[in-house]
Structure 1
Amino acid sequence: MELPHDVIENILERLDVKALLKFKLVSKQWYSTIQSRWFQKRQLIHRKQSGNPDILLVSVCDKSYSIEAMRTLVLGSSAAVRIPTPWENSLFDVANNSCDGLICLNDALLSNPNMVVNPTTRWIRRFPYSTYQQLRMRRKLKPWQKANLGFGKDVVNGTFKPVWLYNSYELRLDNKNKNNNAATVCEVFDFSIDAWRLVVPASPYPIIPCQHPVYLDGSLHWFTSKTETMVLCFDLHNESFQVFKTPFLHHQDFYRVFGMCNLDDRLCVYEQKWDDQVIWSFDSEHETWKKIYSIDLITITSSIPTCVTVKPLAVVDKEKLLMVSGADFGVELLIYDPKTKTCELAFTSKDHITADRLCYFQSLISIV
């Protein structure tokens, strides 16, 4: 007996992307189903519900300075698998997050175009340089002055948006921004017209240079600089800014290291001082912070000597914390169990590679 097509769709939604790419060849109806935006969204939902994210390594470089574009690592495996691309031997900076299985890349030397890539299907969409990228090359900014690209999705319209937010004084643009009292310049790329445009007014709060913006639920987030460290939020639908206070952070404290991340769809700030690392979760409804992890780094370094600092990447197995080690050379992934307060080594690169690391869920999604 032949199954109804809605039952077949329900089965297909639960399959991995590689299988679905093959099943597109079964019939025109299967092809149309798998290509549909509705089906692709359902497949991604099931993928997120079914398990842990995969880890993507970008601009993989070993001690011989041989460069690979990307590798993917399934948590629990012992090896990272190479993803072939048309741009091998080129170093790219990657936006700090994946969005619906897509990543956004930019070449700091402007020898390659910007790209949005689906590393699972190998779909690529190239797009032009921003004004910021061109100015950065001409002004020859120092490494500690540079901004990093943000990438996220307008959850109302479902459109993806690369974003540059940068301090006007870094590029000596203060005079141009006096009319709107902005300390920053904001550029958003619009894929519908294939062009960058300015957001006016931009933020009146300067941001800390070199940080990677964090995407969560339709907004990008940065730390502000100067006298008080706050979280600056940019809504990708309304294209407006607001700030949230972080009373536990003291920007002037030299011995405190802090950063921002997305853990289990929660905006989190981690701070490290001496041998302790604390992770705070933000409640956007009440604009309050709650301490969700407190990690004794002495315990970690006693069991994993190469680990000096740790950066949270994701929540795995529902409650454990996946972290990346701050080892000088190599990629080390650690899993911290908050119940037992112990840490184990989840992955270490045998070939002593360095790479940018981010988590992603495999999907069929592309930008139309």
Structure 2
Amino acid sequence: MELPHDVIEHILEKLDVKALLKFKLVSKQWNFTIQSRWFQERQLIHRKQSGNPDVLLVSVCDKSYSIEAMRTLVLGSSVAVKILTPWENTLYEVANNSCDGLICLNDALLSNPNMVVNPTTRWLRTFPYSTYQLLKMRRELKLWQRANLGFGKDIINGTFKPVWLYNSYELCLDNKNNNAATVCEVFDFSIDAWRLVVPASTYPIIPCQHPVYSDGSLHWFTTKTETMVLSLDLHNESFKVSKTPFLHHQVFGFGMCNLDDRLCVYEEKWGNQLIWSFDPQHKTWKKKYSIDLIIITSSIDTCLTVKPLAVVDKEKLLMVCGADFGVELLIYDPKTKSCELAFTSKEHITADRLCYFQSLISIV
């Protein structure tokens, strides 16, 4: 007896991406189903609900200074598996987060186009340089003047948006028209072009920081008097600021991350790392975690700073060590205040690290 196709769809939704790529060959109907956006979105929801994210290592440089493209690590595994890509020996910088299993890359040396990549299916789409990148090619920018690419999703329309936000005064740009301190460029995949967001923010941002995506917005730290969070809503492309009353003119030891789809700010304070979670409905910050850095340092016998990556096993924190060389991942249990080494590279490599869920999604 043959199963109804809607029952087959519910079964397929629970399978991983590699299996689904093979099952596309079963029939035209299966192929049509698996390639449809509504099916891909439901499959991603199941993937997020059923397990922990994978960890992606991008632009890996080993002790011989050769550059790989990407590796992926399944938590619990001791080996990071190389992902075959059409490019090699190119130093790509990656946006700080993934969106629906997609990542955004830009060539640090500006010799190759920007890319959005699905590391699971190896689908990719290139897109052109922004005005910022062209200015970077023509001007000799100092390290402290650099900006980093942001990548997020308009959760109302479902469109993906790469974003450059940078301080206009650092590039000596004439900004008299809108009197703003920053310039914002958003890439529109529907017209394959960058466009300016006007008016841009009147708050300058801390250079070199990686913007963080959460709940339909990209977020940066500002530099005016007190440290605040500047947010760009990717649907209406408007800016707003949120105060961080717990940060008091800190120069170092703080950062931003996304935990459980919530914007979080972490700060180092008296040997502890405090993590504050933002409630967008009530516009308030709540202390979510307090991590004893001394316990972590003694547990793995090394001096380090830690950056939260994700919540795993529903309550534990996956964190990355702040080492110059090597890739070390820790899992911290806030209930027992203990940690374990989840992964360490067996070779001297360094890479940007971010979490992602495997998906079938691409950009049309």
C-alpha distance in structure 1 between counterparts of 2:360 and 2:257, whole Å: 25
Unaligned runs of 5+ in 2: none
Query: Which SS does the other structure have where 1:228 is aligned?
Result: coil
Q: Which residue of 2 aligns with 1:222?
A: 220
Q: Which residue of 2 aligns with 1:310?
A: 306
Q: CA RMSD in A?
A: 0.9
Q: Does 1:185 align with 2:195?
A: no
C-alpha distance in structure 2 between counterparts of 1:226 and 1:209, whole Å: 13
CA contact (8 A) 1:300 1:307 kept: no
For each residue in 1:25-45, what CA deviation from the matched residue of structure 2 results, as whole angstroms up to 9, or x when unmatched?
A: 000000000000000000000
Deviation at 1:179, TM superposition (A): 2.1
C-alpha distance in structure 2 between counterparts of 1:327 and 1:200, whole Å: 39
Q: Does 1:335 align with 2:331?
A: yes
Q: Which residue of 1 aligns with 2:12?
A: 12
C-alpha distance in structure 1 between counterparts of 2:302 and 2:356, whole Å: 26
Q: Which residue of 2 aligns with 1:236?
A: 234
Note the 1:102-113 alignment, pairs <5 A.
102-113=102-113
Deviation at 1:5, TM superposition (A): 0.1
Q: Does 1:21 align with 2:17?
A: no
Structure 1 range deviating more: 74-83 or 266-275: 266-275
Q: Which residue of 2 aligns with 1:155?
A: 155
C-alpha distance in structure 2 between counterparts of 1:11 and 1:152, whole Å: 30
Identity, % of aligned positions: 87
Q: Which residue of 2 aligns with 1:60?
A: 60
Q: Which residue of 2 aligns with 1:124?
A: 124
C-alpha distance in structure 1 between counterparts of 2:212 and 2:315, whole Å: 21
For each residue in 1:9-34, what CA deviation from the matched residue of structure 2 results, as whole angstroms up to 9, or x when unmatched?
A: 00000000000000000000000000
Note the 1:268-347 alignment, pairs <5 A.
268-347=264-343
Deviation at 1:306, TM superposition (A): 2.5
For each residue in 1:136-161, what CA deviation from the matched residue of structure 2 results, as whole angstroms up to 9, or x when unmatched?
A: 12121111210000001111111110
C-alpha distance in structure 1 between counterparts of 2:179 and 2:123, whole Å: 40
C-alpha distance in structure 1 between counterparts of 2:220 and 2:55, whole Å: 23
Unaligned runs of 5+ in 1: none
The amino acid that maps onto 1:31 is N
For each residue in 1:305-329, what CA deviation from the matched residue of structure 2 results, as whole angstroms up to 9, or x when unmatched?
A: 2241000000000000000001231
Query: Which SS does the other structure have where 1:21 is aligned?
Result: helix
CA contact (8 A) 1:307 1:325 kept: no
C-alpha distance in structure 2 between counterparts of 1:328 and 1:223, whole Å: 24
C-alpha distance in structure 2 between counterparts of 1:224 and 1:305, whole Å: 35
Q: Which residue of 2 aligns with 1:134?
A: 134
C-alpha distance in structure 2 between counterparts of 1:54 and 1:108, whole Å: 25
C-alpha distance in structure 1 between counterparts of 2:242 and 2:149, whole Å: 21
C-alpha distance in structure 2 between counterparts of 1:155 and 1:266, whole Å: 14
C-alpha distance in structure 2 between counterparts of 1:257 and 1:303, whole Å: 21
Query: Which SS does the other structure have where 2:176 is aligned?
Result: helix
The amino acid that maps onto 1:71 is R
C-alpha distance in structure 1 between counterparts of 2:133 and 2:224, whole Å: 24
TM-score, scaled relative to structure 1: 0.98
C-alpha distance in structure 2 between counterparts of 1:211 and 1:95, whole Å: 11
Aligned residues: 364
Query: Which SS does the other structure have where 1:124 is aligned?
Result: strand
For each residue in 1:243-272, what CA deviation from the matched residue of structure 2 results, as whole angstroms up to 9, or x when unmatched?
A: 000011122x44x41100000111100001
C-alpha distance in structure 2 between counterparts of 1:208 and 1:328, whole Å: 22
C-alpha distance in structure 1 between counterparts of 2:339 and 2:278, whole Å: 25
C-alpha distance in structure 1 between counterparts of 2:194 and 2:316, whole Å: 40
C-alpha distance in structure 2 between counterparts of 1:296 and 1:124, whole Å: 41
Deviation at 1:67, TM superposition (A): 1.0
Deviation at 1:217, TM superposition (A): 1.5
The amino acid that maps onto 2:87 is W
Query: Which SS does the other structure have where 2:253 is aligned?
Result: strand
For each residue in 1:108-145, what CA deviation from the matched residue of structure 2 results, as whole angstroms up to 9, or x when unmatched?
A: 21111000000000001000000000101212111121
Deviation at 1:193, TM superposition (A): 0.6
| Regions of 4+ moved over 4 Å | none
CA contact (8 A) 1:306 1:327 kept: no
